Amino acid sequence: MEQIKKLLTFPKPFLTVYPRVWIVLFFVFVAVDLASKVWITDTLTYRVTEHQLENAVAGHVQMLVHGVGQINILGEEGKYIKLALVFNDRFVFGTGPAAPVFGLFLSLFAVIFLIFYRLHNPDFGPSAAWLLVFSGAVGNLIDKMFVKSLETGAWVFSLGPKPNHVSGVVDFVECIWFGWTPGYDMLSFSLPFFGTFRPLAWLAWPVWPLFNFADSLIVVGTCMLVFSMLLTKPQPEA
């Protein structure tokens, strides 16, 4: 009981840590993120992976084919930036195993943890940075609570897989990765029993992993928090 009381006791009032203008902007950012994702799923052709199709289809289903394959933003045929729809049912940058249910509850836990951490540490980092991180995290969390129909494109609330629907966060911004070319091979070397080792192989991606508006908010907000940590001078001990 004492631990619960301590957890629910905060150094500053809720509306001081999360002022009304902060809350309004939070809802605006989340709404923009979700609206952009709904627009994308209504506009672009679904691009699903083999495992997503196998997990989603129960019997025969008329695969949804509508709209266009991509929208070019910058460069010839979208060479530098384009919009193309995929569903990320994995983790950061599409890494790790496909685990939409685990990912949903992991995101829910992360949001709850961040809310309490911010309430207990109200002076840590700029408020704007937390606004961006929370908005992006909640936008993606809500996205994960909906599966998308392969037949109609409709968003259906579901905390787990559903037949004829695809799970995963809607990602749609594809940018060329101005990283290293395959010339990174010059930095490769061989290790006994392990074969060729290329420590910089990740710099040779042809494109950056697809992302969305929420991801951008999280990345910018996190960078702001990191920079604030680096620029904050430690207080001398009394």
Q: What are phi and psi of 22, to 5 degrees?
A: -60, -45
* Residue type (1 letter), 98: A
What is the distance between the alpha carbons of residues 53 and 47, in angstroms, rounded to a whole number?
Answer: 10
* Residue type (1 letter), 14: F
End-to-end CA distance of the chain: 33
What is the distance between the alpha carbons of residues 217 and 130, in angstroms, rounded to a whole number?
Answer: 10
Residue 171 falls in the annotated catalytic set: yes
Catalytic residue among 33, 89, 143, 215: 215
SS3 194: coil
Q: How many CA atoms lie within 13 A of 80 on its CB side?
A: 5
Catalytic residue among 123, 143, 171, 185: 171
Q: Which of 106, 107, 90 is nearest to 98 (CA)?
A: 90
Task: Report the catalytic residues.
Answer: 171, 215
